[in-house]
Amino acid sequence: MKTLIQIILKRFVISAILGYSILQISGCSSSKGALSFSALKYPTSMSAFLYDQNHNVVMKGKELEFLHSFDFKKTYWNLAYGSIPLTKGESISDTLNAIVEKYKGDGIINLTITIEQGVVNKIYSFFMYLPSYIPILPSSASITVSGEVVKLKNPASSYLFNENFKDVFIPKENISLKINEAIHENN
């Protein structure tokens, strides 16, 4: 009889430890996402440099004039430990395009992405992630996109890549070449 009680107790203790361990391992919350820049209309760089129309590297403080800094936040939601995305991998291009147009810039530099746990994940931590055992409860990741809107300092050079002035504006270094071409055509 004593042995039977001992066996039952032993099994109960082992089951309890195993059950608790499983609960400890499985309590997690995961969220993921991707940023797409497919519809960007303006050159955007993650460093302080851009290419001008002649593929020359131009930098902030020299050829590039700082106009305005910006930042905005986005939250990405997922279900079932991140396997079912609730927020589509939407492009942030439209937001970036609108920002450049608002400040009448030529591009964006120092684009920075900051990733952090979403509010929901932080709330779960107060409950030792017990809510995350229910896969239908969402998890979230929060990202902050920041950067600087810049403009080319030399306004004359901007005519070079404006379609309307393409044939009107002649760069200084090409004037002699154009004159020679005109003379050659007349002859």
Among 7, 9, 14, 51, binds another protein (CB under 8 A): 51
Secondary structure class of 119 (helix, strand, coil): helix
Instruction: Show the 3-state SS of 162-177.
Output: CHHHCCCCCCHHHHHH
Cβ at position 56, least distance to another protein in Å: 9
Q: How far is CA 182 from CA 170, 171, 173, 187, in A?
A: 13, 15, 16, 9
Residue 95 lies near another protein (rule: CB under 8 A): no
Cβ at position 53, least distance to another protein in Å: 5
d(CA 35, CA 92): 7
Q: E strand or H helix at 111, and its extent?
A: strand 107-117
Ranges within 106-165 binding another protein (CB under 8 A): 106-107, 110-118, 121-122, 124-126, 128-129, 132, 139-143, 152, 158, 160-162
Give residues in contact with another protein (CB under 8 A).
Answer: 21, 24-25, 27-38, 40-53, 55, 57-58, 76, 82, 93, 106-107, 110-118, 121-122, 124-126, 128-129, 132, 139-143, 152, 158, 160-162
